């Protein structure tokens, strides 16, 4: 089953902003993240990292 997970970032400006969307395939245990254009155009945008220490349901999203 594929899931679409919307990712928000808390930046210095206050309220969380949409950073992008993670499309996660549970069967294949893989995912792909795409930044939102509006996020990339922000002067205060920061890069997001997906490392092994950040897990989803006990498994790493790669």
Residue 21: predicted pLDDT:
92
The beta strand positions in the chain, using DSSP E, are: 2-9, 17-25, 30-35, 55-56, 59-60
| pLDDT score, position 60 | 43
User: No. of H helices and E strands in the chain?
Assistant: 1, 5
2-56 tens-digit pLDDT: 899 999 998 876 889 999 999 988 888 888 889 999 999 988 888 887 555 444 4
What are the structure tokens assigned to 38, written together?
């509006």
pLDDT of residue 59: 46
pLDDT at position 15 is 87
CA distance to 12, 29, 55, per residue, from 5 (Å): 23, 14, 14
The domain locations on the chain are: 2-60
Q: Looking at residue 18, what is its pLDDT?
A: 92
């Amino acid at each position: 089953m594929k899931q679409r997970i919307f990712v928000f970032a808390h930046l210095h400006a206050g309220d969380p902003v949409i950073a992008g969307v993670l499309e996660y395939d549970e069967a294949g245990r893989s995912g792909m993240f795409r930044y939102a254009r509006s996020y990339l155009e922000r002067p205060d945008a920061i890069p997001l990292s997906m490392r092994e220490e950040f897990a989803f349901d006990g498994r790493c999203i790669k």
